[in-house]
Amino acid sequence: MDILIVEDEAEIAHLIQLSLEKEGFFCRISRDGMNALRMFQEQTPDLIILDLMIPGLDGLEVCARIRQKPGAKDPYILMLTAKGEEIDRVIGLSTGADDYMVKPFSPRELVARVRALLRRSLRQGGQHQVSRTQHFIVDVDQRTASRQMNSQQPEILDLTTLEFNLLTTFVSNPGRVWNRTQLIDKLWGDNFFGDERVVDTHVARLRKKIEPDPANPTFIKTVVGVGYKFEDSAMS
């Protein structure tokens, strides 16, 4: 697994690198935001450890730019913040970070969180490999999702891995109400360390890609005080 460490403090970057390489990970280090983007474009990592306060472009901007460039591999992003910095800014809708840690941190916990992120996958169980509703078709085997509105031709959706998994969960269970804990367990498993509100981040990003009007969603509805449900007629 390839991990990109974006951290301007040499001692911290070296500690992270040693801790992860002892566990068999391959690590690269960048000390500023612009160089991090160049390294990301040269070789897309499986996971990025991204400090919030770095020279040039800060961590929020780097994270946002990476999320604007979806590709075949959509890396997980673990954000590092100093104690006292506003966590909501890190996991807010504009970033797309998957998890965060507050400095100072335990190298052992960092390794555990990295492993947990890299294990994240949609657990399909006995579900059908192709799920259909009135407006959506999700092919799990081919990892494709499409939307058809009215009489228009089906539109292939450009989704990140997490967005695809989230849409598959919704389309496979139309009408079911999901709370955040259930979605975390479905998408990320039992070793999730982050804030439950990261679910809201990914729901908002998915809405922007599938809803005619994301501000007034037609398909992914908010159930106040509970969570979310997907409304679209199931098809056989």
pLDDT for residue 72: 53
Residue 203 reports pLDDT greater than 90: yes
Rounded CA separation 98/113 (Å): 11
State the Cα angle at 194 between 28 and 98, rounded to 5°.
50
Amino acid identity at 83: K
pLDDT for residue 236: 45
This prediction has a pTM of 0.58
Strands 2-6 and 47-51: parallel
pLDDT for residue 191: 62
Output the six-digit token pair for 224. Answer: 């106040």
Q: DSSP 3-state assignment of 7?
A: coil
Q: Is 206 in contact with 220 (CB distance < 8 Å)?
A: yes
pLDDT for residue 106: 92
Backbone dihedral region for residue 82 (phi beyond 0: left; psi -120 to 50: alpha; all else: beta): beta
Q: Is 200 in contact with 166 (CB distance < 8 Å)?
A: no
Q: DSSP 3-state assignment of 186?
A: helix
Rounded CA separation 168/124 (Å): 9
208-221 per-position pLDDT tens digit? 999 999 999 999 99
Output the six-digit token pair for 155. Answer: 């539109």
CATH value of 130-230 in 1.10.10.10, 3.30.360.10, 3.20.20.210, 3.40.50.720: 1.10.10.10
> If 0-12 CB within 10 Å is exposed, 13-18 middle and 19+ buried, where does residue 10 land?
exposed
What count of other Cβ atoms lies within 10 Å of the Cβ of residue 54? 23
Any idea which of 76-85, 108-117, 154-163 has the lowest mean pLDDT? 76-85
Residue 92 reports pLDDT greater than 60: no
- Domain boundaries, given as residue ranges, for the chain: 2-119, 130-230
Amino acid identity at 191: N
Cα end-to-end span (Å), the chain = 39
Question: Would 2-119 and 130-230 be classified into the same CATH topology?
Answer: no
pLDDT for residue 128: 42
Q: Is 3 in contact with 75 (CB distance < 8 Å)?
A: no
Q: Is 88 in contact with 43 (CB distance < 8 Å)?
A: no
Instruction: Look at the domain 2-119 and name its fold.
Output: Rossmann fold (3.40.50)
3-28 per-position pLDDT tens digit? 999 999 999 999 999 999 998 899 99
Residue 70 reports pLDDT greater than 80: no
Q: Is 5 in contact with 28 (CB distance < 8 Å)?
A: yes
